[in-house]
Structure 1
C-alpha cells in the first residue's frame, strides 16, 4: 500500500491555503509534518481526510479500496474530540463503530487500551480534558482504517498517555498501516519520513490560523 500525493492545493474562505504539496508515503511508514503556526499543517490533514476540498492535485491510496476515497479509508484525529457528552463512553464508541464499519475491537477492549475501561458506562460529560482526548483516541481502535491522520495528537495527554500513543502508533505501522502526523512535539516514531511546510507551499500565511476556530467547531459537530 502506498499513499501518493501530487501537486495538492486547496482554497479556503476564498483564499489559497496550500499550494503544490507532493509526497509519497510507503506502507508501514509515518510522515511527520512540521512548520510554523499557520503554515497549513491542519489544512493539509483536513484535505487528505476529505473535510476540505482540493482545488488542484491528486491523492491516491494505491493498494487500498478503489471504490472508496482516501478520506473514507482514513481515521482523522483532530483538535476537537468529536464525542457526544450526553452519551456514555461505550455509546460514543458504538456510534463510531457503526459509522466506520470494519470493527476490530469491542468498545470495552478499545477503552482498556487507553486506560478508560473502568469508565465505560460513564457519560462523557464527566471526563477530564485528558480523558476526553483518550476517548477520542480510542475511536482509531474500534475499526480498521489503514491511514491515520493525526493533528497535534499529544495535545492534553499526560506522559503515560503519550507513551501509550507511541505504542499504538507502532502497532499500527507494524500491521502495514500509514500515519501522517502534524505536530510540534516529538512522537517517538522510529525513523519517520518528514515534510516541512514552507512559504512556497502556502500562498496566504495567515489563512490557516484564521480558519482554526472554524475547524474546531466543525469537528465538534461531526
Structure 2
C-alpha cells in the first residue's frame, strides 16, 4: 500500500452483465473490471442504460443476466459504495450544514468534518443558509460533499458535472483524482468530458442504444 492509500484494494468485476428495467434490456452483455486507482467513464446516448447500469451496480435494480462483484470486500466492513444520482437529495428547509450533517450521520462519520467538506467544495460561507436558496450548481456541490464526509471505496456518479461551471468541473476532477490516489475506484456516467492528470487512470465504456 502507498503512503496515501486509505481504502482496501478492491476490484469491481462484471461478467456478461445485462441491465434493464421492467424486464426490457437496455444494454448488451457487459464485461469489465475497475481496480484500485481507476476510473471508468460511461458514455452513450440517452436511453442507452448508463443510469440503469449505475443503479444495478448500487444494488438498487436487479440485473437481467450476468453478475458483478466487488472482489476483496470484507463482508463485515459495511457499505463500500457511494451512489451520487442525478438528483441531489437535499432538504430545502434545512441549512446547508444540517443537510451534510444528516448524510454524515446516515453514511458514517468516517471522512472529514462537515465544515471542512463544505470548505472543500466552496460552500463554507453558506453553511447556515437554508439549502433551498442554493443555485443548481451549488446544490450539486453540496451533493458532492457527501462523498467527503463518509469514506467509501467505490464512487458511482451519475452526471456528476450537471449544473457545474468551469470551476465546478475542476473541483470534480480534483475530488476524483484524490479519491483514486487513496486507492478508491470510480464509475461516472457523463456527457461532459472528464480529464484526469494521468490519463492512464481512465478507461471509457461506450453503451449503445438498443433498437
Q: Does TM, normalized by the shorter one, top 0.5?
A: yes
Partner residue of 1:127 out of 112, 116, 134 = 134
Alignment of 1:38-187 (within 5 A): 38-67=47-76, 72-187=79-194
Q: CA deviation at 1:113?
A: 0.4
Determine the C-alpha separation between the residues in 1 that align with 2:87 and 2:65: 27
Question: Is the Cα–Cα contact under 8 Å of residues 10 and 56 in structure 1 kept in the other structure?
Answer: yes
> Across the two proteins, how many residue pairs are aligned to each other?
199
Q: CA deviation at 1:45?
A: 0.7
Alignment gaps of 5+ in structure 2: 1-9
Determine the C-alpha separation between the residues in 2 that align with 1:73 and 1:129: 28
Question: TM-score normalised to the size of structure 2?
Answer: 0.88
Q: CA deviation at 1:30?
A: 0.5
Determine the C-alpha separation between the residues in 2 that align with 1:129 and 1:11: 29
SS of equivalent to 1:53: coil
Question: Is the Cα–Cα contact under 8 Å of residues 49 and 207 in structure 2 kept in the other structure?
Answer: yes
Residue 28 in 1 paired to residue 40 in 2?
no
Q: Deviations over 1:44-71 (max 9, x none)?
A: 11111122122322221112232478xx
Question: Is the Cα–Cα contact under 8 Å of residues 3 and 59 in structure 1 kept in the other structure?
Answer: yes
Alignment gaps of 5+ in structure 1: 206-222
Determine the C-alpha separation between the residues in 2 that align with 1:154 and 1:11: 24
Residue 197 in 1 paired to residue 207 in 2?
yes
Question: Is the Cα–Cα contact under 8 Å of residues 18 and 43 in structure 1 kept in the other structure?
Answer: no
Aligned-residue CA RMSD (Å):
1.6
Q: CA deviation at 1:198?
A: 2.4
Question: TM-score normalised to the size of structure 1?
Answer: 0.84
